[in-house]
A and B are shown apart, each in its own frame.
Chain A
Amino acid sequence: MIRFENVGMRYGAGAEVLRDVTFALEAGSFTFLTGPSGAGKTTLLKLMYLGEAPSRGLITLFGRDLATAKRRDFPELRRRVGVVFQDFRLLDHLSAFDNVALPLRITGRDPRDYRQDVEELLSWVGLGDRLDAKPATLSGGEQQRVAIARAVVARPDLLLADEPTGNVDPDMGQRLIRLFAELNKLGTTVLIATHDRALIASAQAREMRLVDGRLVELRMPRL
């Protein structure tokens, strides 16, 4: 599904943020990405959702070598990836409903087709009564749940989440992890970047650890 080979990344003339990162994510896998702040987790996610091009190395996404893939194919690849950003990136002028519907809308789907899906999903994350609320009127935790709903609404093949439970209470955190697990059971490959040890412990999953831009541990769950 995803393969990184000796991938290095630097911004401009700065030091390398990622060095010789090599790993593979199998289709349908569930993985945690851990590591101290500044270790390069967000950059690694960015490379996976085609937010940046690597400075060196080879990235294969859904069987496509990104170095040789055509630019016009990128939108199609990006649509297969759902992302929960650490800073949510909700559009302030749109309602919770419209924010969640955005990935469906850009594919040109008729609003009548997805209306029910979006409403159900927002209910699932506990926001069934806040459909029309603008992000500014939502709490941090509510915004995070809108961001998660938006990332999963199009049933992506790959879900990337950057600290997705950072702003919610433990109960909601568990609920969200169950949502990710459900999605994973339906075939979505999930990668969650987090500091939350409780979260990692609750879901028996593989853990990749980044330290100073290097992947130092690839641990499989205890069976």
Chain B
Amino acid sequence: MSERKPGRIMPGEKGAAPLDIVIGVMAFLAALALGAALLADRASDSWKLGLANRITVQILAPEKSDTAVQSEIEAALRVLRGTSGIARADLVSEENTLNLVKPWLGSDPLIRELPLPRLIDAAITPGAPVDLAGLRARLKTAAPDSVLDDHSRWIGRLREFARAISWSAFGILFLIGIATAATVAFATRAGLETHHAIVELLHQMGAQSGFIARAFEWHYFIATLFAATIGAALAAGVFVIAGGLEFAGVEPAPFLPPLALKLAELGWFAAVPLGASLIALVTARISVLGALSRIY
């Protein structure tokens, strides 16, 4: 004898495509926001790592002779190399200095005529304490035209920027969560209206409210899971394509870290459909129980 599988209590929803589309689009946006948060987090880390252990000394004295500038450079290098905690200090060649300004100023031969500062790049031994104020004073004495930059202002601003992106992304996720809940609540109410006869019959037969709510909540859980998975997968696709473009040599905006997300980071995208369908499940349940409590 073949097993008879009980039919679903709630009929398949006809005309539910708009709900699926809305949820799919919201999941897409939520996943983009999530991707932005992940990138901002990674950017913040890479900026920290890239700049935190570095200091730069600039020597800009356009009115002084090359020899005078050269002696200031040498004096500054001596001070740096003689400071404990400084792992190394090297003069950045003029060629490299020009390369640094190339993104902003281009490579016109005229640029060479500009009074560009000479740069000394120094690395701090990780973990070693360096008395930056003392170093700054000693440098001023040895090379009066030197300016010490420990990048703290930059790092601070970049981290603030990354934090702002993260918070904005989480804010967007939160708003999308609320919008998803409101959409599902609305759809559940419409569903209750459409299936009023079924709900009333089950209620009259003595079905517990939880039994009726379950029929609805699973319906919306599965519908949302399906639509949100497609939305999140499309968003993941956007990041994969962006990564592919980078790989193919298309340059993203300067200063930003690579747009390609790692596989483990893409794994976070699975949280979007799961979160959305849980929101749908809880919202549907609350809506149905609320509606049933108003029936005699």
Tell me the bound Cα distance from A95 to B211 in angstroms: 20
With A52-B296, A53-B296 given, is the CB distance from A75 to B6 under 8 Å?
Answer: no
In the bound complex, CA of A112 to CA of B203 (Å): 24
Interface segment, B115-123, B151-159, B194-202?
Answer: B194-202
A195 CB–B CB distance under 8 Å: no
Question: In the bound complex, do residue A50 and residue B296 qualify as a contact, i.e. CB atoms below 8 Å apart?
Answer: yes
Given the complex of chains A and B, what is the CA–CA distance between A121 and B6 in angstroms?
A: 17
Which chain A residues lie closer than 8 Å to B101 at the CB level? Answer: none
Known contacts A89-B197, A93-B11, A102 near B205 by CB under 8 Å: yes
Please determine whether A115 and B296 come into contact, CB atoms closer than 8 angstroms: no
Stretch at the interface among A19-27, A76-84, A176-184: A76-84
Residue in A50, A92, A95 whose CB lies within 8 Å of B204: A50
Least distance between B108 CB and chain A CB atoms (Å): 75
Q: Looking at the complex, which one of B3, B198, B201, B206 makes contact with A79 (CB distance below 8 Å)?
A: B206
Residues of A within 8 A of B3 (CB): 112
Residues of B within 8 A of A79 (CB): 205-206
> Which residues on B sit within 8 Å (CB–CB) of A78?
203-206
Q: Provide the bound-state CA to CA distance between A108 and B214, in Å.
A: 13
State A107–B205 Cα separation when bound (angstroms): 10
Look across to chain A and name the residue whose beta carbon is closest to the beta carbon of B1.
A115
Against B, the Cβ 8 Å flags (1 = close, 0 = not) of A50-66 are 11110000000000000
CA distance A53 to B207 in the complex (A): 18
Chain B contacts for A108, CB-based, 8 A: 211
Contact partner, B207, options A80, A94, A97, A106, Cβ 8 Å: A106
Residues of B close to A138: CB separation below 8 A: none
B254 to chain A, nearest CB (A): 59
Interface majority SS (helix, strand, loop, mixed), chain B: loop
Number of interface residues of B (CB under 8 A): 20
What B residues does A115 contact at CB under 8 A? 4
**Would you call A106 and B206 a contact (CB within 8 A)?**
yes
Q: Complex Cα distance A49/B200, Å?
A: 12
Assess the B7–A106 pair: CB atoms within 8 A.
no
Least distance between B1 CB and chain A CB atoms (Å): 9
Set of chain A residues within 8 Å of B202, measured between Cβ atoms: 102, 106
Q: How far is the CA of A121 from the CA of B252 in the complex (A)?
A: 72
In the bound complex, residues from chain A placing their C-beta under 8 Å from that of B206 are 74-81, 103, 106-107
Q: Does B168 sit at the interface, judged by CB under 8 A? A: no
B residues 243-262 touching A (CB-CB < 8 Å): none
A133 an interface residue at 8 Å Cβ cutoff?
Answer: no
Which residues of the other chain, A, contact B11 by a CB distance below 8 angstroms?
A: 91-93
Q: Considering only CB atoms, which chain B residue lies closest to A90 in the complex?
A: B201
Q: Which of B201-247 contact A (CB under 8 A)?
A: 201-208, 211
Residue of A nearest to B209 (CB): A75
Q: Nearest-CB distance from B207 to chain A (Å)?
A: 4
Query: Residues of B contacting A75 with CB < 8 Å?
Result: 206-208
A112 to B3, CA, bound (A): 8
The A-contacting residues of B in range 105-138, CB under 8 angstroms, are none
Query: Which B residues are in CB contact (< 8 Å) with A52?
Result: 296
A50 to B296 CA separation, bound complex (whole angstroms): 8
Name B6's closest neighbour in chain A (CB-CB): A111
Enumerate chain A residues within 8 angstroms of B211, measured Cβ to Cβ.
Answer: 106, 108
Chain B 1-26: CB-based contact to A (< 8 A → 1; otherwise 0): 00110111101100000000000000
Q: Which 7 A-B pairs have the closest CB atoms?
A: A79-B206, A78-B206, A93-B11, A106-B207, A75-B206, A98-B7, A94-B7
A-B contact pairs, 15 of them (CB 8 A): A50-B296, A52-B296, A76-B206, A79-B205, A80-B206, A81-B206, A89-B201, A91-B11, A93-B8, A93-B12, A97-B4, A101-B6, A102-B202, A102-B205, A111-B4
